[in-house]
Amino acid sequence: MTSETPMVFLVDDDPRVREALCSLLSSVGFRVSAFGSAAEFLEFEKPDAPSCLILDLQLPDVNGLELQRELAGGEAPPIVFITGHGDIPSSVRAMKAGAVEFLAKPFGEEELLQAIHAALALDKTAREHRSELAELRKSHSLLTPREREVLPFVVAGFANKETAAELGTSEITIGVHRGQIMRKMGARSLAELVRMADKLGIAPAIRPA
């Protein structure tokens, strides 16, 4: 399932709300999948498309905040919380945990659509970010173990000679590794490589005191 049509997931235990939001969102042109509980949502196989999750704070099985916590760190879509009675502590916790919006029922169309658009935009960025990172990881995986050892020195701005001294090899060998790294990673400049390393979470080597 690969389609760029944005996908909206809806989890609310009240069928009336589910029906109404499904109708509204489909009229706007979203694809909507609605679930009555967190478990149903978790079981569902999500398509690879920009998406967001409209999540009711009160759910019969797992409550909304718990589901948010469970999803955090994964590739879960951004969350727009909706609630029948928003209390301040819950909304603070939700927002801190990265929710896009916290809407109190009943909410207007504009608020909801704005939140959904924001969430989708967020998801789009996240998705792009994720795919870029995936590319980098793929490139990184092509490096030989020795080249991976060399990379931190390169991005830390060590001269080949200094790196060779640190790793106990020749300057020429380091030069070859460096060239290979630049090629395999697809970096056109050192600056680009530095950004890539940063994205991959590779810390630059530390110059000895």
Partner 1 sequence: MKVLSQTKRYGLAAVSCGLALALAWWFDAPAFCFFLAVMVTSLYGGQGAGLFAVALSSLAFDYFFLPPRFRFGLDATSFVRFAPFLVANLVIVGVIEVKRRAEEARRRIAEQVENAFVEIKGSEDRLRLIINTMPTLAWSSNPDGASSFINQRWLDYTGMPPEEALGWGWKVVIHPDDLAPTMEYWQAVLAGNEDSELEARMRRFDGIYRWFLYRVSALRDESGRIIQWYGTCIDIEDRKQAAESLSQREGELSMIIETMPGLVWCAAANGELTYVNRRILEYIGTHDKALAQAGWLNFLHPDDVQPTVHAWTHAVETGEPHEIQYRLRSFDGTYRWFHVLGQSAQDAEGHRTRWYGLLIDIDDRKNMEEALRNTQARLSRAAQTATVGELAASIAHEINQPLAAVVANGHACLRWLAAQPPNLAKAQEAAERIVRDGKDAGEVIQRIRALFKRTSVVKTALDVNEVIREVLRLIRSEAVRKGVAVETNLELDLPSVAGDRVQLQQLLFNLVVNGIEAMDGVADRPKRLIICSKQQAGEGVLVEVRDRGPGLAEPDKVFDAFFTTKESGLGMGLAICRSIVEAHHGRLWAAPADGTGAAICFTLPDHASTAL
Task: Summarize as ranges the residues that interact with partner 1 (CB under 8 A).
Answer: 13-14, 16-17, 19-21, 23-24, 26-28, 58-60, 63, 82-85, 87, 104-109, 112
Please say which residue, 82 or 154, places its beta carbon nearer to partner 1. 82
**Least distance from partner 1 to the Cβ atom of residue 110, Å:** 9
**Least distance from partner 1 to the Cβ atom of residue 64, Å:** 11
40: number of Cβ within 10 Å? 13
CA distance 186 to 189: 9
162 with 123: CB under 8 angstroms? no
**Least distance from partner 1 to the Cβ atom of residue 9, Å:** 16
Please say which residue, 57 or 197, places its beta carbon nearer to partner 1. 57
Please say which residue, 58 or 173, places its beta carbon nearer to partner 1. 58
Q: Please give the C-alpha separations between residue 60 and each of 9, 21, 169, in angstroms, as whole numbers.
A: 17, 19, 63
Contact partners, residue 29, CB within 8 Å, separation at least 6: 5
Q: Please give the C-alpha separations between residue 145 and each of 135, 165, 167, 171, in angstroms, as whole numbers.
A: 19, 18, 13, 18
**Least distance from partner 1 to the Cβ atom of residue 3, Å:** 21
Please say which residue, 112 or 205, places its beta carbon nearer to partner 1. 112
**Least distance from partner 1 to the Cβ atom of residue 192, Å:** 46
By residue count, the chain amounts to 209
39: number of Cβ within 10 Å? 15
Q: Please give the C-alpha separations between residue 12 and each of 32, 63, 191, 209, in angstroms, as whole numbers.
A: 13, 10, 48, 59
25 with 50: CB under 8 angstroms? no
The tokens 């001269």 sit on which residue?
159
**Least distance from partner 1 to the Cβ atom of residue 100, Å:** 18
